[in-house]
Structures are given as C-alpha cells and as structure tokens.
Amino acid sequence: MSHVMIVDLARNAMMTGLLVAGPLLSVALGVGLAISLFQAVTQIQEQTLAFVPKLLAVGAVFLAVLPWMLQTLAKYTTELFRSIPTLVQ
C-alpha cells in the first residue's frame, strides 16, 4: 500500500466524518450563539439555559437526519470494503 493510498483513505474518512457531523455541529453552534446573545442582552448567566435548548435542538436534528447519516456511512463502508482488493496489492 502506497503513501498516496493511505492519504486518500484518511482524507475520505475525515471528509465523511465531517459530512456526517456537520449538521449536528452547525445546529449546536447556531443555538449556542443565539442563547449566548440572549444571555448577554438579558444578563442572565444560568448555565442550564445554554445546555438544555442546545441538547433539545441537537437531538431533534439528529432524529431528522439520522436516515441520511446512516446512508452516508453505509455508502462509505461499502466503498471501503469494495476497495480492499486494490489496497492489498
């Protein structure tokens, strides 16, 4: 296995991981930013105020995009297993 194949496998794994985690991370970032802005405006410094809405939003988005996430991961895994004979050479 050459260095190019190893780099390509690592790049594909990282891109798939970012693609799958992207929606959840972006929702957590957006909700966290909105809650932080709300806390700054109202001067309420309650820690659970930031945690609970973020948890609920990420959970809702997770349930909404779960089929797509599983399909993406299954596609990546299938392609990886199909490429094993070319990697072993």
Buried b (16+ CB within 10 A) or exposed e, 35-74: beeeeeeeeeeeeeebeeebeebbeebeeebeeebeeeee
On the 0-12 / 13-18 / 19+ scale of CB atoms within 10 A, 7 is: exposed
* pLDDT at residue 89 tops 80: no
pLDDT digits (tens, 9 = 90+) for 11-70: 999 999 999 999 999 999 999 999 999 988 988 888 788 899 999 999 999 999 999 999
- The alpha carbon of 55 is separated from its chain's Cα centroid by a whole number of angstroms, namely 15
Distance CA 59, CA 47 (A): 19
At 75 the pLDDT is: 96
At 18 the pLDDT is: 96
Q: What is the pTM of this model?
A: 0.81
Residue pointed to by tokens 């659970």: 48
At 44 the pLDDT is: 84
